């Protein structure tokens, strides 16, 4: 037994080179991403990137229930309770270091195989989205449910949601709709579906390969290796099935029009009904902030998006809905958040603009990202 929140190992291969293995190791907390985990992962990934003996990285998690169920909401809640609208050192450090890690994964110079089994939400999707090779299994359940806690889809969500087919990303941002393996592949959050019981076989195959002799680069070789273990998904993609409906629901440039359509979804499909209910119960400020991010980031680089998200996330910490949403979900567990403002019609442009105000001194802590 170990108390390490991330376990590190290497997997030797037939050519003498190695794969780095990073395993999130807090299964009792569904491997929720803490600052300690971020501070463990970042330097090791940088070391492996510079080591010519390392072919690539496997990012996985302990336990059968979750790869990573999100960020450390309890730590953020305590910091917000202490600091309120004042500068929040914990939140400043957490978001800066988490986003820097996510950006590192997106830009990593070697293949990263992320095994996204079980629950993958929020901060977990932030880790997975940027990996070069993203595996989902029959147990995978993905979501960006931040509207239910008074946040918005961060961890690069503003960037990758904008790049999904049609306006699917906006629908997911506003409803937090759950995704299965087929959905994740359809919308670009995952690359392949491999049965959960094949993880050991994939690792054996990684070790048996001679990576110095592969045809093409290591990334292409890894894709071929994973393809040999893929299988059709069992469940169909709701996103694919309802693609035209989704695009119609969130069409246009007026959020109040979109909101009316989302609240009034008429369908016998339980998935669409749940999406409608989640939007209706979610934070009006979160909906407006997600919509504002959708409009702003269209032509931004990934680094620019992370810098903008950093401001917006600190803005959420300085406004009432984020702390209230966590209270209702995780602390008191009454699931009856009292949002401020309580309706979308009362969310003003000035209120949303406040969320983007600079709350740290120059230079920006993510200024070095490019």
Distance from C-alpha of 14 to C-alpha of 146, rounded to nearest angstrom? 44
71 is catalytic: yes
Among 72, 98, 102, 154, the one annotated catalytic: 154
**Which residues are CB-neighbours of 97 under 8 A, at least 6 positions away?**
35, 38, 39, 42
Among 146, 191, 292, 324, the one annotated catalytic: 146
Q: Which helix (H) or strand (E) holds 232?
A: none
Among 71, 116, 118, 315, the one annotated catalytic: 71
Distance from C-alpha of 154 to C-alpha of 123, rounded to nearest angstrom? 8
Where does residue 274 rank: exposed (0-12), middle (13-18), buried (19+ CB within 10 A)? middle
146 is catalytic: yes
Angle formed at CA 78 by CA 72 and CA 83, multiple of 5 degrees: 125
Among 56, 70, 118, 123, the one annotated catalytic: 123
Tokens of 103: 């950006």
Tokens of 13: 């291969």
- Whether residue 190 contacts residue 134, with contact meaning beta carbons closer than 8 Å, is answered with yes
Distance from C-alpha of 310 to C-alpha of 152, rounded to nearest angstrom? 12
Question: Could you tell me which residues are beta bridge partners of residue 8?
Answer: 22
Which positions are annotated as active-site residues? Answer: 71, 123, 146, 154
């Amino acid at each position: 037994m170990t108390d390490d929140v991330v376990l590190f190992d290497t997997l030797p291969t037939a050519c003498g080179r190695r794969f780095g293995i990073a395993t999130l190791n807090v299964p009792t907390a569904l491997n929720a991403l803490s600052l300690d985990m971020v501070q463990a992962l970042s330097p090791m990934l940088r070391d492996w990137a510079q080591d010519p003996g390392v072919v690539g990285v496997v990012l996985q998690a302990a336990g059968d229930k979750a790869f990573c169920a999100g960020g450390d909401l309890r730590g953020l809640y305590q910091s917000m309770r202490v600091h309120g609208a004042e500068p929040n050192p914990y939140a400043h450090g957490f978001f800066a270091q988490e986003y820097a890690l996510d950006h590192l994964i997106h830009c990593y110079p070697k293949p990263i195989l992320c095994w996204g089994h079980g629950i993958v939400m929020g901060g977990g999707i932030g880790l997975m989205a940027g990996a070069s090779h993203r595996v989902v299994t029959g147990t995978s359940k993905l979501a960006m449910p931040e509207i239910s806690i008074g946040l918005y889809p961060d961890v690069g969500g503003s960037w990758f949601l904008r790049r999904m087919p049609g306006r699917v990303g906006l629908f997911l941002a506003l409803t937090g709709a759950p995704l299965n393996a087929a959905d994740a592949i359809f919308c670009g959050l995952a690359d392949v579906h491999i049965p959960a019981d094949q993880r050991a076989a994939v690792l054996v195959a990684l070790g048996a390969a001679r990576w110095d002799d592969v045809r093409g680069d290591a990334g292409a070789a890894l894709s071929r290796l994973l393809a040999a273990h893929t299988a059709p998904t069992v469940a169909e993609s709701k996103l694919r099935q309802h693609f035209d409906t989704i695009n119609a629901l969130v069409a246009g440039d007026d959020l109040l029009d979109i909101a009316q359509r989302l609240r009034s979804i008429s369908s016998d499909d339980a998935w669409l009904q749940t999406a409608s209910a989640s939007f209706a119960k979610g934070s009006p400020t979160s909906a407006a902030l997600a919509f504002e991010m959708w409009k702003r980031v269209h032509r931004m680089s990934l680094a620019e998006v992370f810098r903008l998200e950093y401001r917006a996330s600190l803005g959420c910490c300085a406004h009432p809905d984020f702390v209230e949403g966590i209270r209702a979900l995780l602390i008191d567990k009454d699931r009856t958040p009292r949002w401020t403002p309580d309706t979308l019609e009362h969310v003003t442009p000035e209120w949303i603009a406040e969320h983007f105000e600079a709350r740290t001194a120059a230079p920006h802590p993510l200024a070095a990202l490019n």
